[in-house]
Amino acid sequence: VYCSPLPAVLEESSAGMASSPCGNSNFDSGLEIKTRSVEQTLIPLVSQITTLINHKEKPKKSERTLAAIHRVGQAVSVAVGRFVAVGEAIAAENQELKDEMGQACFEARRAGDAIAQLTDVGSALPSQSDGRVTVFSDRTGMVKAARLLLSSVTKVLVLADRIVIKQIITSRNKVLVTLDHLERVSTFQEFVQIFSQFGNEMVEFAHLTGDRQNDLKDEKKKARMAAARAVLEKCTMMLLTASKTCLRHPDCESARINKDAVFHRMRCALEQVIEIVTEARSCGENKILPASIYNGIKDFKSSVECLRENLYSLSPEILGSQLEALVERTEDFTDSAYTSHEQRQAILNLCQLVRQDTQQLMHAWIEAQSLHAKEATEDMEVAILKTCQSVSDLRHELHKVAVGRASDLLKVHGEQLPLRALKAAGAEGNLEVVAEYSRTLTEQKEQLVETCRLLCHVSGTEPLEITCIHAEETFHVIGPQIISAAQTLALHPSSKIAKENLEVFCEAWESQLCDMALLLREINDVFEGRRGKHSANLKTAKAVKLDAEEQTSIAKLGLELRLLSSDVDTELEKWEEQEHDIVRQSQSLASMAYNMYLFTRYPLGTAQYTYVLSEEGIQLCSSIRTFSTQV
């Protein structure tokens, strides 16, 4: 909203004008632009100013060209005036920005007026020789005015962007307050009331943070934001069922542990979002990412190849240290209990080969330095090629091991045997069998956690590394939560809410396995050179373009449907005659409402999803009419 007036007017004014690519301009506002919306707003302004400056280099112009320059200059001035009016309105509504915004708006208006004056036809003089009009060629004045304009406009945009950050922080604070209330409720009625409010606040927060994620220029921040938002989305459902289970079984220790873990994870995710948008010092991005083998290999190869141009760019000791650090990181593969003997031996052999080739390179390098050579000798060139090839072979082997193990695990876990066994044992109240399959699930969790760590080593980009870390953390947390939910069900086998709670956590586990499969494909794409940029989105289906109001409305209705269907399930537990028509009809309605809720959780836009929603809606409407008549 704040950024729209300027580019629209400037783009309209450029009809018939030839503009230089804004990428060639050397203007620097001195402010770091971190969002795409600010950047895109400045592009047409830079383009038009570049045009004006380039024309100032040619004093003699035809009347048509002069008129066009005049139109652009005046349009820039008018656009800046409208833009400044928006900035001043923002300042009036936000006292903390009043002084800074006022100064930036004043400078922008002054610069706009200067550009209008410099492009005024009244300052043109006719040439005596050819009759063409000569404009006073004050290129220095135009450059000065342009710099001031770009600097002040950028500052206004960056200050306006603070309002967006403030909105996100305010929204987070509201969510935290309601989250505290939810954690302390003691009655189901009070919980339902507060959770409805919480759902609306989470929808608002999700919308604001989603817009921010899409607007960020930094791919690492986008990946971290996507990870935090995915946690919040999944935890919202977990919070609902875990809290209801705790309310239904207040003396159950496993239910309390299950609920506490969800609340803790939600607070951590909320904090991570704020760290990203405010760039707080404690922000995870400022914490060093685990050293990956991919980055180690890239840095090592870069150092080796630099020797072609400069034999003295680094010392042999530094290159040797880089190699040893790289080899040390491969221990995550060779020390793993899940790495086969053949794979371990292949990695060790390749590490030894890299060491040998690097040693030969160092000998040739030291010899070339002793001869005072200015560039790599023939022996050095051969050694450089061999070293780069052997380290590439090592990378290929590590990639094969990590991706192969992940693929095998996904096939095994696709059968979901431990989850099905835990559900069955819990429903039967068999704590002994629950304990047995809890150990199986724990072992699978450890395998998945370690595999995510190996994938992080070979991911190929920092955003993918971040997504691997998110997957590792998710498996590490959800595994124990499934176990505590299964223990609760085993202690209360007739409890429908305890059963629903276990289902929700199992669904979260299965969802993360699906995300891991997508992640695996992206890592393979990067390795094979098919795609070099991570999307920073954990779901890949293309969303239909809905406006903010429509998105918010759909998400709110989805949460309300889910809450209402859960309420119906709770009421049905009170009926003694479970085969009664009213009970069966109610169960059917709750099931349809749940299916419609699922629709709102996932990306919209495919014909299949639209058809499903339409069919469920028609069926739900018909069933409600029939049910009302029967009642």
**Per-residue pLDDT reduced to its tens digit, 304-340:** 999 888 888 888 889 999 999 999 999 999 999 999 9
What is the C-alpha separation between 273 and 209, in angstroms, rounded? 8
Q: Which residues pair with 126 in a beta bridge?
A: 133
Q: What is the DSSP string of 256-314?
A: HHHHHHHHHHHHHHHHHHHHHHHT-TT-TTTSPPPPPHHHHHHHHHHHHHHTTT-TTSS
> Quick one: 36-121+135-162 is in which CATH superfamily?
Alpha-catenin/vinculin-like (1.20.120.230)
Residue 23 φ/ψ, nearest 5 degrees: -65, -20
139-184 and 98-118 helices, crossing angle to 10°? 150
Sequence spans of domains, the chain: 36-121+135-162, 164-278, 293-402, 548-630
The answer to whether 380 and 368 are in contact (CB under 8 A) is yes
Same fold, 36-121+135-162 and 164-278: yes
Tokens, residue 569: 């399930």
- Give the pLDDT of residue 597: 62
- Give the pLDDT of residue 619: 67
What is the C-alpha separation between 250 and 185, in angstroms, rounded? 11
**Per-residue pLDDT reduced to its tens digit, 153-186:** 888 888 888 888 999 999 999 999 999 999 999 8
Mention the CATH class of domain 293-402.
Answer: mainly alpha
Mention the CATH class of domain 164-278.
Answer: mainly alpha
Q: Residue ranges of the chain with pLDDT lower than 70?
A: 1-32, 51-62, 121-139, 280-290, 531-556, 558-563, 565-567, 569-570, 572-582, 584-585, 587-617, 619-620
- Give the pLDDT of residue 35: 81
- Give the pLDDT of residue 452: 96
